[in-house]
């Protein structure tokens, strides 16, 4: 089974840049997307074979939002986190299947000068507690744009980005707390020493051409599902967004 996740940075824009063609050729059983940037009724996305589609839109038009396209019918679908404060930007969708929960998440950006760091850290805590609760029932796969580079190896210029959004000490420690609950960074599980492996590049300064990027998109897998993983990676050659899709193969 292949699972794919992609921050599309606006679904309408990505649709014009090959999203449907990518989805059709991806071989994925589930495709999760983040940063949909659309509103209810504003888009119509039809991918042959993906009969189950779920969207969560932000109350603010043209902002945030997530979606999941699945070939498999889930047992249940839920939106958001148990704390309502974090449920107005369409950042979380959960599908329950027979043997695991599948979550797409778009973690808030702390923004310049970390002006939204408190909201982001609160979101992190709520997400961490939510995942821990779900794991009391069955394994969890959580994927999406977590807006944090975990280690120096996960971005091109770590020293220059100390205490910038996405690489502040507080954000890295918060992400580490989630991993410490028993969630595995699937890419590093398979490729612990690989350098230059990034999933996001700025549109400025030809960053993608130079591979001056960050790895901020993840598939996190709970320990219960560890032995089912067979591969994980970044589809860096796929264009259409400032992010690249990431994937997880499980059996």
Q: What is the pTM of this model?
A: 0.97
Q: What is the pLDDT of residues 148-189, one digit of tens each?
A: 999 999 999 999 999 999 999 999 999 999 999 999 999 999
Strand partners, 221: 141, 184
pLDDT of residue 45: 87
pLDDT of residue 242: 98
pLDDT of residue 30: 98
Strand partners, 110: none
pLDDT of residue 43: 81
What are the strands of the beta sheet with 30-34, ordered from one edge?
A: 52-56, 66-70, 30-34, 2-7, 246-250, 229-234
pLDDT of residue 41: 76
Counted residue by residue, the chain has a size of 251
pLDDT of residue 208: 98
Return the active site residues.
106, 145
Taking only the tens of pLDDT, the chain with its 251 residues reads: 999 999 999 999 999 999 999 999 999 999 999 999 998 777 888 899 999 999 999 999 999 999 999 999 999 999 999 999 999 999 999 999 999 999 999 999 999 999 999 999 999 999 999 999 999 999 999 999 999 999 999 999 999 999 999 999 999 999 999 999 999 999 999 999 999 999 999 999 999 999 999 999 999 999 999 999 999 999 999 999 999 999 999 99
Q: Which of 106, 143, 105 is nearest to 225 (CA)?
A: 143
pLDDT of residue 5: 98
Q: Tell me if 248 sits within 8 A of 232, measured CB to CB.
A: yes
Q: Tell me if 53 sits within 8 A of 69, measured CB to CB.
A: yes
């Amino acid at each position: 089974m292949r699972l794919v996740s992609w921050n599309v940075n606006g679904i309408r824009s990505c649709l014009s840049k090959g999203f449907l063609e990518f989805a059709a050729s991806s071989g994925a059983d589930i495709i999760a997307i983040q940063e949909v940037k659309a509103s209810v009724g504003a888009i119509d996305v039809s991918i042959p074979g993906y009969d189950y589609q779920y969207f969560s839109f932000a109350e603010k038009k043209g902002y945030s939002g997530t979606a999941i396209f699945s070939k498999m019918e889930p047992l249940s679908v839920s939106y958001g986190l148990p704390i309502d404060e974090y449920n107005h930007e369409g950042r979380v969708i959960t599908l329950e299947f027979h043997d695991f929960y599948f979550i797409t998440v778009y973690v808030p950006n702390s923004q310049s000068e970390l002006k939204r760091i408190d909201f982001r850290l609160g979101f992190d805590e709520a997400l961490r507690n939510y995942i821990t609760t779900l794991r009391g029932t069955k394994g969890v796969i959580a994927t999406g744009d977590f807006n944090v580079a975990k280690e120096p190896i996960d971005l091109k210029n770590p020293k220059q980005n100390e205490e910038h959004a996405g690489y502040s000490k507080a954000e890295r420690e918060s992400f580490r707390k989630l991993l410490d609950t028993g969630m595995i960074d699937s890419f590093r599980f398979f490729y612990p020493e690989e350098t230059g492996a990034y999933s996001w590049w700025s549109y400025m300064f030809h960053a993608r051409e130079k591979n001056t990027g960050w790895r901020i998109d993840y598939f996190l897998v709970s320990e219960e599902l560890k032995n089912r993983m067979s591969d994980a990676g970044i589809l860096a050659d796929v264009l259409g967004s400032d992010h690249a899709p990431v994937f997880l193969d499980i059996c």
